[in-house]
Amino acid sequence: MNIHRFLLVIPSIDIKDGKTVRVVQGIPELNCAEYGNDPVEMAKLWRAENSKMIHIVDFDGAIDHSHKNLKIIEKICSSVVIPVEFSGGIRNLDDAKVVMDSGVSRMAINTMAIENKKEFDRLFQLYGPTKVVICLDIIDEELVTRGRRKKTGINYIGFAKEMAEIGIDRFIVTDVNRNGLLQGPNIQYSLNIAKNSNCKVTHSGGIRNKDELMDLQSLINEGIDSVIVGRAFYENRFPCQKLWRVAESGIFN
């Protein structure tokens, strides 16, 4: 029996100084009143719109290694009955434990996996591939870290292969140059990761309309099974209710 699979569309909530912000090329912009200031209310809105999952980026954690938004994260997790994926400032095992204790369902790791491999190995052994995914933030085929501000000189494909070998089975792939600009997605980076790592890929960045979601939908069998959407949702580029197209079960498979 053929089971038709649908792209999982995940709204992103980007947080800085306790408020929802817009992010353009990795730089958070404050005072975006049209987005609403309260991340908790935004999470409730996406759940009311029938979202199956929420992706949160803590820019204070990513840039300053601050935990000042932790109470907000805890409140989001207790306010919605869907999985919450978290990214931002997890530099060591203690950070990971704090984040997971807040109610987060899955951690997306970037800097630690590149800069502190030994500590990342400890974290991965503890939590495993269902709780840990890797963020690949890319500028001109080079990985960037620390809130997308530090170039590493590391090619994204080679690093993805290395992570796949230790057991990672999902990557979140972002072309930082396209992030938040509504100029269309760089799908090629995501395809390259899916092909070279044989892992599942969540595409992030650049989506601006329903047609581009359908382009990604056509690539599910290539390994791209989900997409994180930010600015296009907040600017009402398409109706939300028609986009949530995945069964409640199996989100973390």
Catalytic residues: 14, 137
Of 48, 56, 1, residue with least CA distance to 23: 56
Of 197, 157, 216, 179, residue with least CA distance to 87: 179
Measure the CA–CA gap between 64 and 61, rounded to whole angstroms: 6
First to last CA, the chain: 19
Contacts of 86 (CB under 8 A, 6+ apart): 56, 58, 73, 99, 102, 104, 106, 107, 108
Amino acid at 178: R
Measure the CA–CA gap between 14 and 20, rounded to whole angstroms: 6
Of 1, 5, 2, residue with least CA distance to 246: 5
Residue 184 burial (CB count, 10 A): 15
Measure the CA–CA gap between 163 and 157, rounded to whole angstroms: 10
Of 16, 114, 133, residue with least CA distance to 63: 16
210 contacts 185 by C-beta, under 8 angstroms: no
Of 183, 174, 222, residue with least CA distance to 206: 183
Tokens of 220: 């599910």
